[in-house]
Amino acid sequence: MVAPEGTSLLAVLALAASLAPGAARAASCCGGGGGGAAMLARGDRAMADLSLEWERYDGFWDLDGRHRPDPAGSSLSQVRATLAGGLRLAPSWQVAGALPFAWNRNTYSGLSTRTRGPGDIAISVWFEALDERSAWRMKEAADLVPSVTIGLGLTVPTGVSPYDDVPSSFDVTGRGFYRLDASLLVEKSYRALSLSLSGAYGRHLARPVNRVYGKWVEPYRKRLGDRASAGLSLGYRHFVGTAGHSLTATASLAWLQEAAGILGGSRDPTSSIARTAAGLALSFASTDSDWAARLSWSHAIQRQGWGENFPTTDIFTLGVRRALR
Partner 1 sequence: MRSASPLLLAAALAAGCGGTLDDLFPSSADRRPPVQAGAEGPAVGQLAPDFTLTDVATGAPVSLHAALSAARGAVLYFTMWCPICDAHMTHMQWNAIPAYPGVRFFALDYVSGSAAQARAAQQAAGWDPTDFTVLADVGAQVERFYSAPMQIVVVGGDRVVRLNGEYDWPAVQAALGSLP
Question: Near partner 1 by CB under 8 A, which window of 135-143, 162-170, 193-201, 238-246?
Answer: 162-170
Task: Convert residues 116-135 into a mask of x (bound to partner 1 by CB under 8 A) and - (unbound).
Answer: -xx--x-x------------
CB of 52 to partner 1, least distance (A): 18
Give the nearest distance from C-beta 165 to partner 1 in angstroms.
5
Give which of 271, 34, 265, 12 is closest to 172, Cα–Cα. Answer: 34
The residue among 298 and 312 lying less far from partner 1, judged by its C-beta, is 312
In the complex, the smallest distance separating the C-beta of residue 78 from partner 1, rounded to whole angstroms, is 14
Is residue 140 a contact residue for partner 1 (CB under 8 A)?
no
Would you say 125 or 251 has its CB closer to partner 1?
Answer: 125
Minimum CB distance to partner 1, residue 210 (Å):
6
The residue among 19 and 166 lying less far from partner 1, judged by its C-beta, is 166
Virtual torsion, Cα 279, 77, 229, 223, nearest 10 deg: 180
* Near partner 1 by CB under 8 A: residue from 31, 32, 36, 159: 159
Report the Cα 319 to chain-centroid distance in Å: 13
Sign of CA dihedral 10, 14, 20, 25: positive
State the Cα–Cα distance between residues 51 and 176, nearest whole angstrom: 23
| Closest distance to partner 1 from the beta carbon of 171 (Å) | 8
C-beta closer to partner 1: residue 134 or 168: 168
Q: Binders of partner 1 among 198-217, rule CB under 8 A? A: 207-217
Which of 257, 254, 279, 226 minimizes the C-alpha distance to 65?
257
In sign, the C-alpha dihedral spanning 26, 28, 31, 37 is positive
Choices 21-29, 143-151, 225-233, 292-300 (CB under 8 A): range interacting with partner 1: 21-29
Give the shortest CB-164-to-partner 1 separation in angstroms: 5
Q: How many residues bind partner 1 (CB under 8 A)?
A: 77
Residue 229, judged by CB atoms within 10 A of its CB (0-12, 13-18, 19+), counts as buried
Binders in 52-111 for partner 1, by CB under 8 A: 60-64, 66, 68-74, 83, 85, 87, 89, 95, 97, 99, 108-111
Which one of 135-143, 169-177, 237-245, 246-254 is the stretch in contact with partner 1 (CB under 8 A)? Answer: 169-177
In the complex, minimum distance from the CB of residue 140 to partner 1, in angstroms, rounded to a whole number: 39
Residue 261 φ then ψ, to 5°: -85, 180
Q: Say if residues 39 and 126 touch (Cβ distance below 8 Å).
A: yes
Chosen residue from 26, 40, 185, 281 binding partner 1 by CB under 8 A: 26
CB 322 → partner 1: shortest distance, Å? Answer: 15
Residues 229-288 that bind partner 1 (CB under 8 A): 263-266, 268-271, 273
